[in-house]
Copies of this chain bind each other. A is one copy, B any other.
Amino acid sequence: MAENTVLVPAGALLEACGRILEKVGVPPEQARIIAEVTVEADLRGIGSHGLLRLPAYVHRVQAGLMAADTRLKVVRERGATVLLDAQGGFGQVAGVYAMNQAIERARQHGVGFVAVRNANHFGIAAYYTMMALPHRMIGIAATNAAPSMAAWGGTTAVLGTNPISVAIPTGQDVDIVLDMASSVVARGKIRAAATKGERIPLGWALDAEGRPTEDPQAALKGTLLPIGGPKGYGLALVVDVLAGVLTGSDYSVYLASVHDLSRRASVGFVMQAVDVTAFSDWAEYTKDIASLIDVIRNSPRAPGVERIFLPGEIEWLRRQQYWQSGVPVPVKVLGELQELAAELGAAVNLPSA
């Protein structure tokens, strides 16, 4: 998968991303936020949620399906909670604003819970949950997405892979950052197997008739399988209620894909901050976290396992590496960025694809 990439400095990507967005009318400060969230995905090795998506964002704005200027409106608030309307704007701008609100509320109430309606794809959920970390808070986020999984026992897609992220401060260099979809694998992995002509393991996907399949082509016409069977189905459903129904956004089959240029998508999400110091002394908490991490890291390893990682640790290591080396951008993605920049007359400083 890593073949045919070009190493590009993160700074150049941030700049290019921001300039492209400004050219379609995104205010500079918002363009900077969207660029940061987007490039963070690539830095962490989650290319599927990074720059790869930028053309779709731009096309949605150009088609009038997404607002270039994201203006947030407070719909309701009560104590520790807020409901925001993103009015069809960028999920990244709404997400950063929402988590900042959650953090602020948590300072006063111990916990803050902010829901957002009528937004769009927000990139990686971990970006927002990690915002809580320097405040000695635990960040929690979940969003819904266009359907790609069946209900448990069903054959057609009715639920998104609806990710959940939890970021936990440790007081150490590496924090605990879980960011997981409710499906066993992402659709991209099946697409990759199809491209290479490889089979996929049983348990990844169902065909269009709801039968387990090892054929990636059949899987792409079918649905992704949830983790733990009915459990992952339950998680995805719960997230769709919280992010979709509770916020007053679209849900289930009514939520359009980011790639569907025929209609708007009203994506919803929820963000929560939990202040560690509302429950524990920071010193005591970090001592216990350190001891927990020691147990995990030093537990005996299975054959062939070199090291036990914390959730998010691989992404954190990758980020440090890519920050130094440059981010490996697939040639195809780089080409699309350059095309987009040229089309829009955005001055970017990217290596040739």
Q: A285-B245, A295-B158 are in contact. Are A108 and B81 (CB under 8 A)?
A: no
Scoring A residues 288 to 303 as 1 if CB is less than 8 Å from chain B, else 0, what string do you get?
1100100110011111
Q: Which of A135-189 contact B (CB under 8 A)?
A: 138, 150-156, 158-159, 166, 168, 176, 178, 180, 184
| B138 lies within 8 A of A109 (CB) | no
A258 interface contact, C-beta 8 A:
no
Q: Mark A113-155, 1 if CB is under 8 A from B, else 0.
A: 1010000000000000000000000100000000000111111
CB distance from A203 to the nearest CB of B (A): 8
By a CB distance below 8 angstroms, the chain B residues around A278 are 76, 78, 81, 83
Write out, one digit per residue, whether chain A residues 268-284 have a CB within 8 A of any chain B CB (1) or not (0). Answer: 00000011101110001
- Alpha-carbon separation in the docked complex, A307 to B151 (Å): 11
Q: Are A248 and B176 in contact, CB atoms less than 8 angstroms apart?
A: no
Asked if A329 is at the interface (CB within 8 A of a chain B CB), the reply is no
> Which of A113, A138, A245, A276 is the most central at the interface, judged by chain B CB atoms within 10 Å of its CB?
A245
In the complex the two chains form, is B237's CB within 8 Å of A296's CB? yes
Q: How many angstroms between the C-alpha atoms of A168 and B156 in the bound complex? A: 24
Q: How many residues of A contact B (CB 8 A)?
A: 79
Encoded as 1 (CB less than 8 Å from any B CB) or 0, chain A from 35 to 72 comes to: 00000000000000000000000000000000000000
When chains A and B are docked, how far (Å) is the Cα of A76 from the Cα of B155?
Answer: 49
Any B CB within 8 A of the CB of A28: no
B241 to A289, Cβ gap below 8 A? Answer: yes
Residues of B contacting A156 in the complex (Cβ-Cβ under 8 angstroms): 299-300
Greatest chain B CB density within 10 A among A78, A159, A309 is at A78
B180/A274 in contact, CB under 8 A:
no
Some 9 contacts from A to B, beta carbons below 8 A apart, are: A78-B275, A79-B110, A80-B111, A150-B299, A166-B234, A210-B302, A238-B311, A245-B289, A251-B288
Q: Known pairs A178-B231, A178-B235, A180-B234. 8 more at Cβ < 8 A? A: A80-B109, A153-B308, A154-B301, A154-B305, A155-B301, A227-B231, A245-B292, A248-B280
